[in-house]
Structure 1
Amino acid sequence: MRFVGLAVTGTLFASLFVALLLNTDIKRSAFFRIAFFMPYVTSTVAVAAIWKWLYDPLYGLLNYLLSLIIPNFQNVAWLKEERYALAAFAVMVIWQGAGYYMMIFLARLKSIPDEYYEAARIDGANTWQSFWHVTWPMLRPATFYVLVTLFIVSFQVFDIIYILTKGLGDPNKSTLTYVLQLFN
C-alpha cells in the first residue's frame, strides 16, 4: 500500500508540474515533450537495466553524484536496503509513467480558453490565483482520470520489481506488491 501511495502521488505531481512547465510557449517544447514521453514507451527491461546501473552501490551514477554534493558520503545500496528499496522502485515507476500522464494534462491545459485567464487578469488575479481559480478547476476531469488510472496501474506493478529482485520482493519482502505476491 505504501508503494501505491508513493507511486500515485509522485506521478501525479511530477506529470502535472512538467505539463505546466511545457504549457508555456518555450522554444523546443516539442523536444521536451518527446524526451519526457520516451520512458513510457521504452521496454521495462531496458528501464530496469538503466535504473539498476543508476542505483548500483559501487559504480552507480546516483551514489557518485551524491558523493560530489555531500562530503563523507557513504555509498548506499538503494535496491538492497529495506529503508530505501520501496522508494527507489517508486522513483523508477514515476520516471517511466509520468510522461504519459503529462501528455494528458498538457492536452487539457491546451484546451482551456484564454478568455478565462484574461478575465482573471482583469479582475486582478496573479499567477497563483489564476492557477487555483482557473487552471485547477478546469483540470479536475483530467485529474480524476489520471488518479483512477494511476491507482489501477500502481496496483498492477509487477515486471520491474520482478526483474530487479528476481521475483522475491527483496530486501526482506519490503518491495513485495500484490501482483508479485499472487505470482509467487
Structure 2
Amino acid sequence: MTQAPAPARRPFRWHIPVLLAPAVLVYSAIMILPLFGTLQLSLFRNVEGVRTFVGLANFQTLFGDARWSASFWNALWNNTWFFIIHMVVQNPIGVALAALLSSPRLRFAAFYRTAIFIPTILSFVIVGFVWKLILSPLWGVAPNLLDLVGLKSLFTPWLGKEEYALTTLGLISVWQFVGIPMMLIYAALLSIPDEVIEAAELDGVTGWSQFWKIKLPLILPSIGIISILTFVGNFNAFDLIYSAQGALAGPNYSTDILGTFLYRTFFGFQLQSGDPYMGSTIASMMFVIILAGVCVYLFAVQTRLRRYQF
C-alpha cells in the first residue's frame, strides 16, 4: 500500500510580526510600560527622603483619611455624572442624527454630517475658552441672544454656580463630540443589507417604524461599542475641565473629576506640593474603575448583543 503524502506545511508568515513590531514597540513604550510603572509607584511612599515599599498603605490613606476620601468620592461622583450626561444626551442624539442623515430623501446630508462633525476636531483649549466667552455674564453673547427672544431672565452664570457648572461643561462636551457616535451609527446603518430593508418594506414596515423594529436591533452592537468608548473617554476626561475651570475645577471643586484630582495630586498646584505616590494611587484607581467597566461590558453585555449581528 502506498502511504498518503504528508500535508504540506504552511510557511510562516514573517511579514505579520515584522509589520506589527513597530506599532507594538511604540504602544508598549508610551502606554504599557508607564502603566506598570504607575501601578508599581502606588505601592511606595517617601519616608524621610527614602523611597519605601508600603504595600496598600496609600490606598488605605485614599479611602481612610477624611481629607483624601472626601476629595476622591467627590471627583468620582462628578465623573459619574459627567458620564451619565453623555450617555443620556449625547448618544441618543447621535443615534437620532444618524437616522435622519441616513435617509435617502434628505438633501445636503453630506453638508450636515460635516458641520456636525467639525467640533470634534477642535482643540479642547479653544472649545473651553470660546464657551467661557459665550457664557460670560459680563461680555458673553449668551445674555444678548436670550434677550433677543425674550428669555434673558433665564440666563445665569452657569459656569460660576456649583449646581450648574458640571452639567454645563457636560453639555459643552456633548456639543463637541456628538459627531463621533453620529458617524459610527451612520456607518452601521449603511452596512445593513439592502435585502433586509427591502423585505421590511414589502411587509409594510417603513419610516420610523422600520427604524425602531428593524434597524435599531441590528445596530445594537454598534451602540454597545459607542457606550463603552463613552465610558472610557469620560473617565479619562481632563482637558475640557482644565481649560475651562482650571486645575482647581471650580467653583469650590464642583467640577472636579478624577483627571483634575490626579493632576493636582501628582504635579501639585499653587501652594500644594506634588505627591507622585498618591497621584499614582489615584491613577491606579482610575485604571481599576475603567477596567471593571470594560470587563462588565465584555462579559455581560457584548455576549447578549452578538445575537443581533448579521
Quickly say closer, same or farther: Cα 1:15–1:71, change in 2 above 3 A: closer
How far the C-alpha of 1:119 sits from its partner, in A, is 2.0
Q: Deviations over 1:62-96 (max 9, x none)?
A: 33222333456164111101121111101111111
SS state of the match for residue 79, structure 1?
Answer: helix
How far the C-alpha of 1:103 sits from its partner, in A, is 0.9
Normalising by structure 2, we get a TM-score of: 0.56
Quickly say closer, same or farther: Cα 1:169–1:121, change in 2 above 3 A: same
Aligned partners of 1:90, 1:161: CA distance in 2, in Å?
Answer: 9
- Corresponding residue for 1:34? 114
One of 189, 205, 216 as aligned partner of 1:109: 189
SS state of the match for residue 158, structure 2?
Answer: coil
- Corresponding residue for 2:198? 118
> Which has the larger displacement, 17-26 or 98-107?
17-26
Unpaired stretches in structure 1, ≥5 consecutive residues: none
1:76 paired with 2:180, answer: no
Aligned partners of 1:144, 1:38: CA distance in 2, in Å?
Answer: 24
> Which has the larger displacement, 1-10 or 60-69?
60-69
Quickly say closer, same or farther: Cα 1:72–1:38, change in 2 above 3 A: closer
Aligned partners of 2:81, 2:149: CA distance in 1, in Å?
Answer: 29
**What number of residue pairs does the alignment pair up?**
184
1:51 paired with 2:103, answer: no
One of 92, 95, 119 as aligned partner of 1:13: 92
Instruction: State the identity %.
Output: 33
Quickly say closer, same or farther: Cα 1:72–1:142, change in 2 above 3 A: closer
1:177 paired with 2:270, answer: no
- Corresponding residue for 1:142? 222
1:156 paired with 2:236, answer: yes
Aligned partners of 1:71, 1:156: CA distance in 2, in Å?
Answer: 36
Q: Is the 8 A contact 2:143 2:152 kept in 1?
A: no
Q: Is the 8 A contact 2:94 2:185 kept in 1?
A: yes
How far the C-alpha of 1:40 sits from its partner, in A, is 0.8
Unpaired stretches in structure 2, ≥5 consecutive residues: 1-79, 265-310
Give the ranges of 4+ consecutive aligned residues of structure 1 lying more than 4 Å apart after TM superposition.
none
* Structure with higher RCO (Cα < 8 A, 6+ apart): 1
- Corresponding residue for 1:24? 103
Aligned partners of 1:50, 1:65: CA distance in 2, in Å?
Answer: 16
Q: Which amino acid aligns with 1:119?
A: A
